[in-house]
Amino acid sequence: MSINQIVQFLVVADECKNAEDLTAELEKLLNHYQFDYYGVVRQPKPNENPMRLVLAGRWPETYIAKKYVLIDPTVRYLGQAQRGFRWRDTISVFRGDPHRKRMERMMADSQRFGLEDGYIFPIHGRNGLLGNMTVGGKPVELSPVEMTLFEAVAKKAFWRLMELRRQSGELESVSKVETRMTRREMEVLNYLADGLTSNDISRILKISNHTVDWYMNGIQDKLNAKNRQHVVALAFRLGLIT
């Protein structure tokens, strides 16, 4: 293990005066671990081009040119991951996915261009998933302790880059949303998050479908959501459900 190098980065990161110096320190650590490629990326907002959200990185042009980020199973798995995970563990999660074949082609392409395996670390904030740091190249074995420390590296690199670019404020701000829910609305919201339909919820709560829809509409209005899927996404982001 190279814990000293990780700790050194965590200390030095706060002393960096600009994004270039911070990136150089991060690359020094990743080179020590023999990671050939990496990316520190901000989570895209609706209608944002995900290719423009890289805060720092070194990545094969083929991955970028073919827009593999849109179907990358590691990126898609980020939505449900709370901790860092290994790339190779994600493809099995999407066995029934309609994009499975494209994912497999992407993984095969990645192997040819040097992205054999790696790790990805999500960065969360009060508004949900904010970004991630991914590292890869030739297979590298990280111990459980190193995984935990690399999660700290990911958070430190992400937030320091955002601070040095004067972009951290927009991520730390909380949207002003009316979140005062009644007990019944919270019940409906939790069942909705579990994937239940209006019919399912009406049977469980012993109320009519019309009443369930009435609650749903009220929740949607309070959260300024566009549809039911948006309701669930916002509820997770705001911490109303976990």
Q: Given this model, what pLDDT does residue 149 score?
A: 96
Instruction: Calculate what percentage of the chain has a pLDDT beyond 90.
Output: 48
**H or E element, residue 124:** strand 117-125
- Rounded distance, CA 117 to CA 101, Å? 19
CA angle 18/23/25 to nearest 5° reads: 100
Q: Given this model, what pLDDT does residue 162 score?
A: 92
36 and 114 Cβ atoms separated by less than 8 Å: yes
**H or E element, residue 86:** strand 85-86
The domains found in the chain, sorted by start residue, are 3-172 (3.30.450.80), 183-237 (1.10.10.10)
228-240 pLDDT tens trace: 989 888 887 776 7
Q: Of 86, 92, 93, 88, nearest to 121 (Cα)? A: 86
* Strongest mean pLDDT among 101-105, 190-194, 232-236: 190-194
Mean pLDDT for the chain? 86
Q: Which residues pair with 57 in a beta bridge?
A: 39
